[in-house]
Homo-oligomer: A and B are copies of this chain.
Amino acid sequence: MVSLTPHLKRFGKQLEQIAYRGLDQHLRIGITGLSRAGKTALITSIVHQLTHANRQQLPMWQALAQGRVLGVQRVPQPDLTMLPFDYDGAMTALTSNPPQWPESTRGLAEIRLAIRFAPQGGIKRQLADHLTLYLDLVDYPGEWLLDLPLLELDYGSWCQQQWQWLEQQPWLEVSQRWLQLSQQQSGADETQVAEVAQHYSKLLQQLRLEQGATFLQPGRALLPGDLEGTPILAFYPQQPQQVDQNSALTQMLTQRFEAYKEQVVKPFYRNHFSKFDRQLVLIDSLAALNHGRAQVEQMSQSLQGVLQSFHYGPGSLLRRMLSPRIDKLLFVAGKADHISIDQHTNLLALTDSLMGASGKRIRFSGAQSESMVLSAIRASEPGQVDDGSGPVAVIRGFDQQQNRVMRFPGEVPRQLPPEHFWRQQGFDFTPLAPPRELTVDGPMPHMRMDHLIDWMLGDKLS
């Protein structure tokens, strides 16, 4: 007779291993930004803070404070068709002399971290002393996120929306010549249409660089990749009166607009967006304030467009198109080191107010939205000086030309200031250089990165 005991034992062992593996978790976080907001610095900081986890540096990260984080390391990325996020390149730039901000990535990039931790208790604790959370950070251009609202528009409505803002100051100054060019084009000649579209994409680039525009559609006009020169990108918004005439040209542009939605926007959401568990949107409200009222208003429009994309009630397009699983959405107002600490609550209030009535801590089906003010890599030291009438908050750092500077960064408004404010005074939150004396394995100064990490991971490390 054969004894069953060793078989049962082996079976039990296998069951345990299966249950154990079932406890390992994956968390995929999409990270994007509006208006070149410092995404690369943020992701670099997340990776650095996690792989050099230190209680003094990250006091508010609960799992770390409880001594349950055993180690974090970089492991090979799961999706081989994406660019690897170039953490080492970013650290080389930051630690060079003089230090440089890392270059921004183009297109999709990914990095995976394995976080080894001790579960807090309960069933997980009984099954295993240690578990692993695989964290994927996926960096993608903010323009691609702003393509989602296109899915709810037809060509005519899109033209109205675009012409409405392009015809207004301050944009008109830059867009005037293109608007004329577009009006003059009446035939459906492929070469001519491609040329007008080419000029439209140059216009978007110029509006972003010179005027701080953020609501730029279509996103691939700015980052075409392999689609460069193909007819699917050769469309642009016609003047609404022209659209009404429904000429052969309008029909051609409509066809391309629809093809763009079907063959470019939807596949991005199907292949990437729908696989995110959480989403982080980085915004640079200070740069918008520097530019002027129109830019702050447009950033508000962009944020609301983004929120609308996430607001997938039952029956909404997004819900029908894909099964979204994003359960948390965070708006991060970065560069908190460019203002004095007493202004942080104002920056948070401003960010919330830009999201409109529905924006502040909006709850959308099954997911939560929050906003946070932080500095990924702190480039200034706070201080005080007495200007005769009492102590005034200042910050000290280095400007982009590497000169030591001390600044009175001034007040951040709690909401969109009236037009005359910019005429009288305006804002000047000038960019700083990265901090000196960063090293590859030394501490990286920041503000509230521990809050961010706890927001991202807290519940998954319980």
Interface residues of chain A, those whose CB is within 8 Å of chain B, are 76-77, 80-84, 88, 107, 190-191, 225-227, 229-232, 252, 256, 259, 263-264
Do A190 and B259 have beta carbons less than 8 Å apart?
no
Whole-angstrom CA separation of A285 from B227 in the bound complex: 34
Do A107 and B226 have beta carbons less than 8 Å apart?
yes
Chosen A-B contacts, 7 in total, with CB atoms closer than 8 Å, are A76-B231, A80-B232, A80-B259, A81-B263, A82-B230, A88-B191, A226-B226
Do B83 and A256 have beta carbons less than 8 Å apart?
no
Whole-angstrom CA separation of A349 from B146 in the bound complex: 59
Chain B residues with Cβ below 8 Å from A76 are 190, 231, 252
Whole-angstrom CA separation of A256 from B84 in the bound complex: 14
Which of A77, A84, A227, A230 has the largest number of chain B CB atoms within 10 A? A230
Query: In the complex, which residue of chain B has the Cβ closest to the Cβ of A259?
Result: B80
Do A229 and B80 have beta carbons less than 8 Å apart?
no
Do A227 and B263 have beta carbons less than 8 Å apart?
no
Do A84 and B231 have beta carbons less than 8 Å apart?
yes
Whole-angstrom CA separation of A124 from B236 in the bound complex: 42
Do A231 and B263 have beta carbons less than 8 Å apart?
no
Do A231 and B77 have beta carbons less than 8 Å apart?
yes
Whole-angstrom CA separation of A395 from B84 in the bound complex: 55
Chain B residues with Cβ below 8 Å from A225 are 225-226
Do A81 and B190 have beta carbons less than 8 Å apart?
no
Do B88 and A230 have beta carbons less than 8 Å apart?
no
Chain multiplicity (copies): 2
Candidates B82, B84, B229; contact of A83 at CB < 8 Å: B229
Chain B residues with Cβ below 8 Å from A227 are 81
Chain B residues with Cβ below 8 Å from A82 are 230
Do B230 and A81 have beta carbons less than 8 Å apart?
yes
Whole-angstrom CA separation of A88 from B225 in the bound complex: 24
Do A80 and B256 have beta carbons less than 8 Å apart?
yes
Do B191 and A232 have beta carbons less than 8 Å apart?
no
Chain B residues with Cβ below 8 Å from A190 are 76, 84
A346 to chain B, nearest CB (A): 41
Do A230 and B191 have beta carbons less than 8 Å apart?
no
Whole-angstrom CA separation of A107 from B82 in the bound complex: 19
Knowing A226-B107, A226-B226, say if A263 contacts B80 (CB, 8 Å): yes
A188 to chain B, nearest CB (A): 9
Query: In the complex, which residue of chain B has the Cβ closest to the Cβ of A255?
Result: B80
Whole-angstrom CA separation of A263 from B80 in the bound complex: 9
Query: In the complex, which residue of chain B has the Cβ closest to the Cβ of A86?
Result: B229
Whole-angstrom CA separation of A263 from B76 in the bound complex: 18
Whole-angstrom CA separation of A225 from B232 in the bound complex: 17
A445 to chain B, nearest CB (A): 27
Query: In the complex, which residue of chain B has the Cβ closest to the Cβ of A74?
Result: B190
Chain B residues with Cβ below 8 Å from A230 are 80-84
Query: In the complex, which residue of chain B has the Cβ closest to the Cβ of A107?
Result: B226
Chain B residues with Cβ below 8 Å from A264 are 81
The 9 closest A-B pairs by CB, nearest first: A80-B232, A80-B231, A226-B226, A225-B226, A80-B259, A81-B232, A83-B229, A81-B230, A83-B230
Chain B residues with Cβ below 8 Å from A232 are 80-81
Whole-angstrom CA separation of A226 from B109 in the bound complex: 12
Chain B residues with Cβ below 8 Å from A80 are 230-232, 256, 259, 263
15 further interface pairs, Cβ-Cβ under 8 Å (given A81-B227, A84-B230): A77-B231, A80-B230, A80-B231, A80-B232, A80-B256, A81-B230, A81-B232, A81-B263, A81-B264, A83-B229, A84-B190, A84-B229, A84-B231, A88-B191, A225-B226
A271 to chain B, nearest CB (A): 11
Which of A80, A84, A190, A259 has the largest number of chain B CB atoms within 10 A? A80
Chain B residues with Cβ below 8 Å from A256 are 80
Query: In the complex, which residue of chain B has the Cβ closest to the Cβ of A263?
Result: B81
Which of A226, A232, A252, A263 has the largest number of chain B CB atoms within 10 A? A226
Whole-angstrom CA separation of A231 from B81 in the bound complex: 7
Chain B residues with Cβ below 8 Å from A191 are 88
